Amino acid sequence: MATQQKVRTERDSMGTMEVPIDAYYGASTRRAELNFPISDLRFPRSFIRALALIKLAAARANMSLGLLEGHIGSAIVEAAQEVADGKFDDQFVVDIFQTGSGTSSNTNANEVIANRATEIMGGQRGSRLAHPNDHVNMGQSSNDVIPSAIHLSALTEINESLNPALEKLRTALEKKSDEFWPIIKTGRTHIQDATPVRLGQEFKGFAGQVEYGLGRLRHAQEELSQVALGGTAVGTGVNTHPEFSGRVCRILSEITGVQVRETDNHFQAQSTLDAAVEASGVMRTVAVSLHKIANDIRWMGCGPRAGLGELVLPEVQPGSSIMPGKINPVIAESVVQVVAQVVGNDATVALAGQGGYFELNTMMPVAAYNLLQSISLLASSADNFAEQCVKGLKPTETGPAMVEKGLMLGTALSPAIGYDRAAEIAKEAAATGSTIRETAKRMTDLTDEQLDELLDPEKMTEPGLGGGPAGG
């Protein structure tokens, strides 16, 4: 026989509601929990932390303005810090697919913090010594708190997780660029043989992609640093002190180490998700860059005998349940799958950005979830890619050995004999299986010394070699 769950009775503006006796949330959260049995998706730790820190900073600001009694405000600050530290994550029970403003999650935070603050002051949960609306939510609305929490959580995750991971990857790629600089191999355009390139130059390109990605993130962070807090219901700031938002932003900046400031246009800040849409677009761009890097590396490592075989990737696990000794580029493959997820997340955020109707966007929760997941996935995969793949890459002799056989060495003959004649030599070499050097010696009057000068692959990795025509 099932044991009936013990409950207590809480109340909200709609009346009484039974909640689990051990719950810190109250009646409104319980209603939302029952209203949205949609998925198992919940806000991540980073969002709960940001939401709690906003409540903490709001209590401090309201105390400093003389609007909140000190003993209540201090209890709220203590309770909010505990929530920010992760002690009550299991109390955030509302589904991501909920009210589009995120009101249910804002209420969830208000009730948990109020009940915990009430306990701190010696009261019983539900007795409302700290009131979820009058005290914890003072000077706020879900409509300015939730977009502010989106910005703050994204900012802190970029600052604390994604930027360090990308810096680590850039450093690893730059080290490989230096290490591989002496190695000359065949370049490829249209996945066909092209003129020689240094393996280190290819890795310099990879490192540059990450560097530019970090620059794009800095711009996104600048946009995210403007928060909606202070606009309350529709952007007018009704029911809040004019200095409230500025004080809260200063406190949040001190606590988190990222700079946040009140928006200079509350009406756009609450009715749109434009900054989040831009940030998600940057995540997509960074993801696409990682796809290029991971895909090139796994292709250069394909083989080991029947493929390109120019790189040896670290062996991290067996690659097949049927083929003994097979090793697959699994770390690069995991990066590519993350890219797919991030691109999909960006599409969701873009659609959510279209959910701004009049004075409020009503697709905030799903936008927050997908943006924060993208940041987290990119941070983890970039760090893992650097550590378990890039750092252990080793070159083979295959790349340099194929340079002399490459037909695109004929490009270097163009300044001396013209494009058409060089093309004839390349076609003849391809037809006969000869090298460009062998064919040119047979079909031209160029001496061995001249061919050595013209067909020096090292010189072909630098600007110069005269003003002859070129193709791509």
Backbone angles phi, psi at 63, to 5 degrees: -65, -45
Whole-number Å distance between alpha carbons of 135 and 464 = 72
Asked about 151 being catalytic, the answer comes back as: no
Whole-number Å distance between alpha carbons of 364 and 104 = 12
Q: Which of 13, 39, 190, 321 is catalytic?
A: 190
Q: Which of 39, 225, 271, 320 is catalytic?
A: 320
Q: Residue 189 belongs to what H/E stretch?
A: strand 184-189
For the purposes of burial, counting CB atoms within 10 Å of the CB of 376, is it exposed (0-12), middle (13-18) or buried (19 or more)?
Answer: middle
For the purposes of burial, counting CB atoms within 10 Å of the CB of 437, is it exposed (0-12), middle (13-18) or buried (19 or more)?
Answer: buried
Q: Which amino acid is at 254?
A: E
For the purposes of burial, counting CB atoms within 10 Å of the CB of 26, is it exposed (0-12), middle (13-18) or buried (19 or more)?
Answer: buried
Cβ–Cβ < 8 Å for 102, 73: no
Q: Which amino acid is at 244?
A: F
Whole-number Å distance between alpha carbons of 416 and 51 = 69
Kindly give the pairing relationship between strand 311-312 and strand 394-395. antiparallel
Whole-number Å distance between alpha carbons of 443 and 437 = 10
Kindly give the pairing relationship between strand 360-361 and strand 394-395. unpaired
Asked about 291 being catalytic, the answer comes back as: no
Closest by CA position to 110, among listed 136, 129, 88: 136
Q: Residue 312 belongs to what H/E stretch?
A: strand 311-312
Which residues lie below 8 Å from residue 247, measured CB to CB, with a gap of 6+? 57, 60, 61, 64, 65
DSSP assignment letter at 133: I
List strand residue ranges (DSSP E) for 61-181, in order. Answer: none
Cβ–Cβ < 8 Å for 72, 129: yes
Biggest CA–CA distance in the chain, Å, is 100
Q: Which amino acid is at 1?
A: M
Cβ–Cβ < 8 Å for 156, 138: no
For the purposes of burial, counting CB atoms within 10 Å of the CB of 4, is it exposed (0-12), middle (13-18) or buried (19 or more)?
Answer: exposed
Instruction: Give the active site residues.
Output: 190, 320
